[in-house]
Amino acid sequence: MIKAKSSKIGDGIVVFLCVLLILLCFLPVWNVFVRSLSSPQSLIKNDVYLWPKEIDFTAYSLVLKDSKYNWSLAWTAMLTVGCTVLSMTMTILCAYPLIFDKLKGRKIINSFILITMYFSAGTIPNYLLFKDLGLINSPFVLAIPFTLSVFNMIIMRTFLQNIPESLRESAEIDGANPVRILISIYLPLSTSVIATLSLFYAVGRWNGYSDALFFMPQNKTYYPIQLLLYFIIQSKESVEAATQEGFSTPGASDAIKAAAVMFATIPILMVYPWLQRYFITGVTLGAMKG
Amino acid sequence: MTAEAQALKARKRYKARLYYKRYWTLYAMLALPVIYFVIFKYIPMTYLQIAFKDFSITKSAWEMDWAGNNGFEYFIKAFSDRDFFYALRNTLMLNLLGLALGFPAPILLALVLNELPYKRFKKITQTVAYMPHFLSWIIISGLALQLFATRFGLVNTVLRNMGFESIQFLDKPTNWVWTYIFVGIWQSVGWNAIIYLAALTGINPELYEAAAVDGASRMRRIWHVTLPGLRSTIIVLLILRMGYIVASDFDQPYAMSNTLVTSVSNVLSVFVYNRGIKGTQKSLAAAVGLFQSVVGVIFVIGTNQIAKRFGERGLW
Amino acid sequence: MKKILAFLVSTLILVSVMAPLALAEDAGFVDGKFTETRTITVALFDRNTDGAIVGDNVYTDFIKEGMLDTYNVNVEFEITPRWTEGEDIATYLAAGTAADVSYSYNGPIDTYFQQDAILDLAPLLEEYAADLTDLTDFLGTNITWKQDPYTGAINAIPARRMNIARINTFVRKDWLDALGLEVPTTTQEFEDMLIAFRDNAELLLGDDADMMVPFAMTEDVGWEANNILYSFVADVDTTDKINYIYGYDDRQFLLPGIKEGVRLLNKWYNEGLILQDFSLYTAGDETVGNLMKAGYVGAFEANWDNPYRNGEESVSYMLQQAQGDDAIFIAIDPFQNDAGLTKKVNYQSNGIYIFFPSTNTEPLASLLYLNWMAKFENRFFLQTGVEGINFEYTEDGTLKAIAAEAGRYKMISSNNGDLTMIINGLDLGDVEKTSAAMALGYANVDPELIKNAYAVALTNGVSYSNISLGTVAAEDGMSEVLKEKRNETLNTSIVASVEDFDAVFDAGMADYLSSGGQAIIDERMEKYTTAFGE
């Protein structure tokens, strides 16, 4: 079929917008990358924008050789995978039963859960609770307390609700119990939302550092990579203290900071393209079956 | 009891048994999440009572003394602080602007991406678009300075080279607000679009073909097929977002603020941070936090009801 | 669950309040030593220093052996990240997990004491005075620094700050030479010098002329222009009384006369003599430091040794790398007040505050820890290290620090500052020896520059005496808020136009005062007149 001319113009506009967007989003990240490859002198002159000046790999060699970065990266990856699996399991366990209109107590449970999204206790109460549970400075504090996100659960539930009830009803008539229905019908149709939420959980865990900062400050072995990064990069508070102390410790150079940022960011950036193949049409398959 | 009543009762019991036999697995599934919520959300919540009490480091929340004025002293203290109202105003202003501009943005992005004819290009654009989300606000504020500083920022240097005057992106309160919103959108649009893109895959392609056969132009197809397909996702996300209308993020305002724009950059989270966390007025901080939560819930309930009026399913 | 938690927590509180009372008279302490081994925990900061092993090195070993030997006390270190010190302390105190010996610079210690979260040290200091002579001798008046004049309670002891040099003004010597200028000795000459820098940008910077920054500052104007502003305070107003009432703000913001100093900065700003974006850069931002290192900055004010710190990463060293060996910053002293004196604020002798949480069950052992640390031979070793590895003697007998290899001998921070918390700054026992060693302690920097900077920073220095009249209730929880308003007022009035200056400054000051500043002044005024009369 020959494409109409207006459609071609439309395509053109769309492509133009996308190119603009790519530039806007990519260039700043590119800038950080480029800085990591530049020499300290050129960074000081604030000369580096689009191209590395006086290419210098020392920052990377320092970062890559340092075992504490490598270990932290590996550990964070393991932690992320484990947490994502745990979180997705909890999310599905929570969301699925709530799509059954006939379930007694459904409304109460819904409100019960929703309230926790807006009322939260805060850091000190959490700290005290974790202390009583023995979670302070334990790596488990990174995995358990924040494992289920109500927001994500609601997304999952909404998605599951949009799958035609006819599919479920016919299975129920055939005598299938809810677990079987979940496994044989809902899960296969939910690959795109499962992929999406897994991505959300994974990125949340990978990028998160404040829970380690508050609740696991003394267990350096299990610092997530972003916490390591945080200590290298942040400088706002440190100067006040340095002023008082009369001595200061040299912070990391600009190049090392940039290299560390790249080191900590690139792995997770690669996850989405990899997950994209799971974003296939789920509902259409179901419609065809029906 | 009459025979009829007995039969009714028996039938009810039978139905109940049937119900539990069929649905007990669902309750079993819910058990774990519910326990989780009780332990990790509700128990710590008992500490919210410190909003009504005089905070003391050494006493447990149950032992602390009740605050003056029937426990409302810290609420009164907060509301009578002029800075509190500036903070509230700033929070609302930034959130509403952010909502008006930032909520449609990912939807538009998803629509634009959906119209891309080249699959490879689409994949690349998606991946690149969500990169900014991964930079922490500390890094982004550094980048923003590099770009927008009046004297040494790249944008202004280019403007001056082209013969224009510098623009004070970060020095003047009004300009700062726009810069703040723009940077916020830049950081989140690609990421937020992911949900919509996932939802778009759920739209039946046959609907598109049918529309094309009917001779619908691109815009009409978007209006009649794509958007309706996204409708429930949009509504849910909007309701959820309304709950955060007085909540305030901390990272972005704190990282991007400077002393010249505190009249607009001091939001409630910064207000609380300065007084409650750096200072010692934990009860005040808790009172403000509680206020934010309550208002948020009211907004969520309100929006949910409105959505239901329009025939949507709502959140509960 | 809630009830159990509440019960546990309240029992814990009860026990920890009882404990110090019970230990007021320690029967297990005989002849200056404990009969049974006691254990204490001491907070130790972690700065992520490359190559140093924070909890396990020759210095921590030295401390542990020494304490065991001398007092039969076992010391365990609790490591916390340095930069989160402020917030963490509150959390640890609330949870009852703070180390027995804890530290804080600016924490709300009085509030902690009011809430019974930390101990009163006065009774023990009195009871065991004979065993704590090293401590009391070394700290001198610092011991009673925070003593409440009405109750006699001492809730914290400040470390002794050995080096009270505070802020210096630095200028590019080579630029002065290039323009044939003398080193400025008055404020007017300084201003003329800045104008000369601005107008001769091509001569000084060639192609980079548009990068010229005559005077650099960051958003913390109160610090980065402190000497200039202070020179506008009348000489008669540099008294302890004025400081007590109006100087509680660490930037001298409320001292009479400051406004005219800010007006001068406003004038300079409008003439293009001050870095235009200064208020966007926090003090920690590298951009301004980088401008100095690249050679674009003519003058600035900062900590007395600011450009010389950090060896190869110092402003001084990198400047020479960028612009040649002649490019150096020297400390100068031009800002005269109305009496012709270049007065500048020096530090008082208090450093970080040391306190004991109320969960501390061994307060005597903890005080003895501080006493042990105060003994000269102990702190000398901790501050200097091992000869040949951490330092060496030069020909004329001056001690010179050398960078140790990574490993157990490497110090976490300069002069092991994090271990020797009782002392802030180097002390070799002799003032001459110490200054000489200090001058050699800056790698990659000419010692003469250090000596000059140090001398200048102390010239006409004003080190206020400590006046302790008890807690000022109006200050509770206000410090961060007022700090923000102070910075806001200073910065907005500097960038305002010359005509608007008065309006902006006055409005900002009014806001500061009405937000709690005035209440503090009033309370302090009252306390002072009650104690000392008019």
Per-residue confidence (pLDDT) for residue A251, from 0 to 100: 62
Per-residue confidence (pLDDT) for residue A290, from 0 to 100: 32
What ranges in C103-249 are assigned the alpha helix state H? 109-114, 122-127, 133-139, 173-178, 187-199, 201-205, 221-224, 226-230, 240-246
The Cα–Cα gap between C253 and C244 comes to 13
Query: Mean pLDDT for chain C?
Result: 88
pLDDT in tens, C270-305: 999 999 999 998 876 778 888 999 999 999 999 999
Residue C504, sorted as left (phi over 0), alpha (psi -120 to 50) or beta, turns out to be alpha
CB contact under 8 A, B145 and C285: yes
A59-288 CATH: 1.10.3720.10
Average pLDDT value for residue range A261-270? 81
Query: Would you kindly state where each structural domain of chain B is located, as residue ranges?
Result: 85-232+245-265
B98 shares contact with chain A (CB less than 8 Å): no
pLDDT in tens, A30-82: 888 888 888 777 777 777 777 887 787 888 888 888 788 889 889 999 999 99
| Residue of chain A nearest B255, judged by CA positions | A236
Per-residue confidence (pLDDT) for residue C371, from 0 to 100: 94
Q: Which residue has the tokens 């007040």?
A: C337
Average pLDDT value for residue range C379-407? 88
- Does residue C85 have a pLDDT over 70? no
Contacts of B68 (CB under 8 A, 6+ apart): none
Please report the DSSP string for C456-488 in residue order. HHHTTEE-PPP------GGGTTTHHHHHHHHHH
Average pLDDT value for residue range A153-161? 88
Per-residue confidence (pLDDT) for residue B279, from 0 to 100: 60
Bridge-based pairing of strands C461-462 and C344-345 is parallel
Query: Would you kindly state where each structural domain of chain A is located, as residue ranges?
Result: 59-288
Angle in degrees, CA C439, C442, C444, rounded to 5: 120
Residues of A in contact with C285 (CB under 8 A): 235
The DSSP letter of residue B225 is: I
**Do the Cβ atoms of B167 and B175 come closer than 8 Å?**
yes
- Does residue C328 have a pLDDT over 70? yes
If contacts are CB pairs under 8 Å, which of residues 2-21 in chain A contact chain B?
6-7, 10-11, 14-15, 17-18, 21
Q: Is B308 exposed, middle or buried (0-12, 13-18, 19+ CB in 10 A)?
A: middle
B121 to chain A, minimum CA–CA distance in Å?
9
B272 shares contact with chain A (CB less than 8 Å): no
B296 shares contact with chain A (CB less than 8 Å): yes
Per-residue confidence (pLDDT) for residue C365, from 0 to 100: 93
Per-residue confidence (pLDDT) for residue C9, from 0 to 100: 52
Complex-level ipTM beyond the 0.85 threshold: no
Residues of A in contact with C94 (CB under 8 A): 124, 127-128
Residue B228, sorted as left (phi over 0), alpha (psi -120 to 50) or beta, turns out to be alpha
- Does residue C87 have a pLDDT over 70? no
The Cα–Cα gap between C101 and C271 comes to 52
More confident residue, B168 or B67: B168
- Does residue C318 have a pLDDT over 80? yes
- Does residue A252 have a pLDDT over 80? no
The DSSP letter of residue B67 is: P
A214 shares contact with chain C (CB less than 8 Å): yes
- Does residue C430 have a pLDDT over 50? yes
B129 shares contact with chain A (CB less than 8 Å): yes
The DSSP letter of residue C45 is: E
- Does residue A283 have a pLDDT over 60? no
Q: Which residue has the tokens 């002649």?
A: C326
From the list A44, A236, A250, which residue is nearest C293 (CB)? A44
CA distances from A261 to A207, A255, B17, C166 (A): 11, 10, 59, 35
**Do the Cβ atoms of C82 and C47 come closer than 8 Å?**
yes
A234 shares contact with chain B (CB less than 8 Å): yes
Under the banding of pLDDT at 50, 70 and 90, the label for residue A236 is: very low
Average pLDDT value for residue range B81-104? 92
Q: Helix (H) and strand (E) counts for chain C?
A: 22, 16
Query: Mean pLDDT for chain A?
Result: 80
Per-residue confidence (pLDDT) for residue A282, from 0 to 100: 38
CB contact under 8 A, C83 and A238: yes
pLDDT in tens, B162-215: 988 889 999 999 999 999 999 999 999 988 888 888 788 777 788 888 888 888
Residues of C at the B interface, defined by Cβ within 8 angstroms: 1-2, 5-6, 9-10, 13, 86-87, 90, 93-94, 108, 111-112, 115-117, 211, 219, 275-277, 279-282, 285, 287, 358, 476-481, 484, 487-488, 490-492, 495, 515
Residues of B in contact with C6 (CB under 8 A): 60, 62-63
* Architecture, CATH, for domain B85-232+245-265: Orthogonal Bundle (1.10)
Per-residue confidence (pLDDT) for residue C480, from 0 to 100: 81
The Cα–Cα gap between C97 and B122 comes to 53
Under the banding of pLDDT at 50, 70 and 90, the label for residue C20 is: very low
H or E element that contains C254: none
**Do the Cβ atoms of C435 and C454 come closer than 8 Å?**
yes
pLDDT in tens, B5-58: 888 888 888 888 888 887 888 889 999 999 999 999 998 888 888 888 888 777
B33 shares contact with chain A (CB less than 8 Å): yes
A235 shares contact with chain C (CB less than 8 Å): yes
Mutation target to probe the A interface, by most A beta carbons within 10 A, among C83, C168, C479 is C83
Q: Among residues of chain B, what percentage have pLDDT more than 90?
A: 20
**Do the Cβ atoms of C333 and C250 come closer than 8 Å?**
no
Average pLDDT value for residue range A147-168? 87
Six-digit token string for C492: 């907005």
The pTM is what? 0.85
Q: Among residues of chain C, what percentage have pLDDT more than 90?
A: 58
